[in-house]
């Protein structure tokens, strides 16, 4: 992928995509497949770098998006189990009948999507930052660009797809509300060597306010003894929280006693659910830019890719009809709501519930789940992204019903 893979023309092209993350590239790929001329502007000199993400994704969702199996070394490991630990060290394990998640190398994954988009006909301009939108007569008509060498330029398009991630600097200019800062957690993602006492096919999750207030910490092992270890927390320095977890958590401190951190990245995650409006005249917001992220786990790749595909379909139709007005583009939001809103609202409520529990209550809940044999009941789960639907399916099982009753009791005792 070259720095300047095409000559910039000043005639309006079909679509400009802001950001060459997974969501921007998947949108560009889906647009190009439909014969739409799309150009992706990416501010970094290379796609997928720097990476800030654990890349833990549901295999079923990737298959539904036509993205699994993935080639080469993109998939680092697959998982059929998860161990949840309270701050006191109580463990609740879920072992599934088959591998349901994969850890992908985010740099390679992003590059794969960009290559697919480029092969389908999309153009890429790296090292090129979108500074602001060009707006004329109430319609977004293009973008102001700044290149790595400081040169400035304008680029025009019939439609701009904003996939710039959590920075989401363009929303306001497009007349949309910015991300809800109250829903942000601050995260650290590390690469670690010398991890001990972990099962190679299980993801480790550490919950509780003592170590990760407002979110949780994770350890995602690779087969070679290295792991991705991360933590996010609300209103707290994630680096300090991670150091504390590594030193003091009853289980993590043992697993990470000899660990050596080889890479560290910091980034925020938006847990507040999608922004209220994701479109305006000539403009669509997608992915992290629109907070299309699971409020329970902070996973945004599958939700973002799902909405990117919808955005490409609606944008294609808008361009073919020569109607990029918000009146037509509202179908994008409607279809995203149909695809995500049930699961997103179940997860939002679950996140609020988890946030409301003290560490003692969480510990009690994990003990209860283990006693009830809920790990076995959850064994048939094959979906981690659309958690509302997965939850509904499980409600037919007696143990799950008992657990629901227990959690409701817990909820009301934690929220009198
Ligand atoms: C620590 C951490 C762990 C995570 N783990 C997971 C996980 O395990 N599973 C999961 O599903 N999700 C995870 N996520 C969330 C996931 O990383 C995001 O949801 C996902 O990257 C969103 O993709 P995106 O393309 O919308 O945004 P991004 O991946 O952020 O891509 C945006 C791109 O736009 C570019 N850009 C930004 N502004 C401009 C501009 N003005 N001009 C040009 N280019 C611009 C950026 O350089 C970037 O390349 C994690 C997040 C964090 C912080």
pLDDT one-digit tens code per residue, 219-234: 999 988 899 999 999 9
pLDDT in the model for residue 5: 40
For the chain, the residue count is: 416
* Containing structural domain, residue 125: 13-50+108-180+274-348
Same domain membership, residue 340 and residue 232 = no
408 domain-assigned: yes
Indicate the pLDDT class of residue 390, thresholds 50, 70 and 90: low
Separation of CA 100 and ligand 1 centre (Å): 22
User: In this structure, are 310 and 324 located in the same domain?
Assistant: yes
- Distance (Å, whole) CA 282 – CA 328: 10
pTM (two decimals): 0.93
Q: Is 164 in the pocket of ligand 1 (CB under 6 A)?
A: yes
Ligand 1 neighbourhood includes 319 CB (under 6 angstroms): no
The tens digit of pLDDT for each residue in 55-104 reads 999 999 999 999 999 998 999 999 999 999 999 999 999 888 899 999 99
Q: Which two tokens stand for residue 35?
A: 């014969």
Same domain flag for 164 and 24: yes
- Across the chain, mean pLDDT equals 91
Mutation probe of ligand 1 site: the residue of 19, 40, 228 with most atoms within 8 A of C-beta: 19
169 Cβ neighbours under 8 A, 6+ residues apart:
none
Distance 325 CA to ligand 1 centre (A): 28
Q: For ligand 1, say whether the CB of 129 is within 6 Å of any of its atoms.
A: yes
On whether both 119 and 243 belong to a single domain, the answer is no
- In Å, the largest CA–CA distance within the chain is 66
Determine the pLDDT at residue 345.
84
Number of domains in the chain: 3
Confidence band, pLDDT 50/70/90 cuts, at residue 7: very low
Q: Which of 239, 270, 301 is the last residue of a domain?
A: 270
21 plus 120 within the same structural domain: yes
Question: 193-204 in b/e burial notation, b at 16+ Cβ within 10 A?
Answer: eebeebeebbbb
Task: Please count the helices (runs of H) and the strands (runs of E) in the chain.
Answer: 11, 18
Q: How far apart are CA 70 and CA 112, in angstroms?
A: 9
Last residue of a domain, one of 270, 297, 321: 270
Residue nearest to atom 39 of ligand 1 (CA): 164
Q: Would you say residue 58 lies in a domain?
A: no
By percentage, how much of the chain surpasses pLDDT 70? 89
Per-residue pLDDT averaged across 41-53, rounded?
A: 97
pLDDT winner (highest mean) among 183-192, 294-303, 353-362: 183-192
Compute the distance from residue 397 Cα to the ligand 1 centre, in Å: 37
User: Which band of pLDDT confidence, cut at 50, 70 and 90, is reported for residue 347?
Assistant: confident
Q: Is 299 in the pocket of ligand 1 (CB under 6 A)?
A: yes
Domain of 239, CATH number, reads 3.30.9.10
Q: Is the pLDDT of residue 416 over 60?
A: no
In a domain, 206, yes or no: yes
- pLDDT confidence of residue 3: 47
* Residue 291: other Cβ atoms inside 10 A: 29
- Which of 239, 223, 3 minimizes the C-alpha distance to 105? 223
Burial of 97 (0-12, 13-18, 19+ CB in 10 A): exposed
| 141 C-alpha to ligand 1 centroid (Å) | 25
């Amino acid at each position: 992928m070259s720095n300047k893979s095409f000559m910039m023309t000043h005639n309006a092209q079909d679509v400009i995509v802001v950001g060459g993350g997974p969501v921007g590239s998947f949108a560009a790929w889906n647009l190009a497949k439909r014969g739409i001329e799309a150009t992706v502007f990416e501010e970094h000199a290379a796609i997928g770098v720097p990476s800030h993400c654990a890349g833990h994704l549901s295999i079923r969702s990737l298959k539904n998006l036509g993205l699994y199996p993935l080639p080469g070394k993109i998939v680092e490991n697959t998982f059929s189990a998860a161990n949840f630990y309270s701050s006191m060290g109580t463990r609740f394990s879920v072992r599934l009948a088959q591998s349901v998640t994969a850890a992908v190398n985010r740099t390679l994954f992003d590059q794969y999507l960009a290559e697919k988009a480029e092969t389908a006909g999309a153009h890429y301009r790296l090292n090129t930052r979108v500074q602001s939108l060009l707006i004329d007569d109430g319609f977004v008509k293009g973008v102001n660009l700044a290149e790595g060498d400081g040169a400035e330029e304008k680029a025009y398009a019939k439609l701009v797809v904003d996939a710039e991630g959590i920075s989401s600097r363009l929303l306001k200019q497009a007349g949309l509300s910015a991300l809800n800062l109250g829903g942000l957690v601050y995260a650290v993602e590390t690469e670690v060597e010398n991890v001990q006492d972990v099962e190679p096919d299980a993801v480790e999750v550490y919950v509780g306010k003592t170590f990760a207030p407002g979110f949780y910490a994770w350890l995602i092992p690779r087969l070679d003894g290295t792991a991705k270890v991360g933590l996010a927390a609300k209103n707290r320095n994630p680096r300090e929280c991670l150091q504390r977890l590594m030193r003091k958590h009853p289980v993590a401190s043992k697993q990470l006693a000899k660990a050596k951190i080889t890479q560290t990245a910091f980034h925020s995650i938006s847990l507040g659910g999608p922004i209220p409006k994701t479109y305006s005249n000539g403009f669509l917001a997608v992915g992290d830019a629109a907070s299309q992220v699971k409020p329970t786990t902070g996973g945004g790749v599958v939700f973002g890719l799902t909405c990117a595909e919808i955005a490409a379909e609606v944008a294609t139709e808008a361009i073919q009809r020569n109607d990029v007005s918000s009146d037509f583009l509202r179908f994008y939001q409607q279809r995203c709501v149909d695809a995500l809103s049930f699961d997103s609202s179940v997860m939002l409520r679950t996140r609020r519930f988890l946030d409301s529990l003290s560490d003692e209550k969480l510990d009690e809940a994990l003990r209860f789940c283990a006693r009830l044999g809920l790990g076995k009941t959850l064994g048939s789960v094959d979906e981690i992204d659309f958690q509302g639907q997965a939850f509904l399916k499980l409600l037919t099982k007696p143990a799950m019903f008992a657990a629901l009753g227990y959690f409701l009791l817990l909820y009301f005792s934690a929220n009198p």
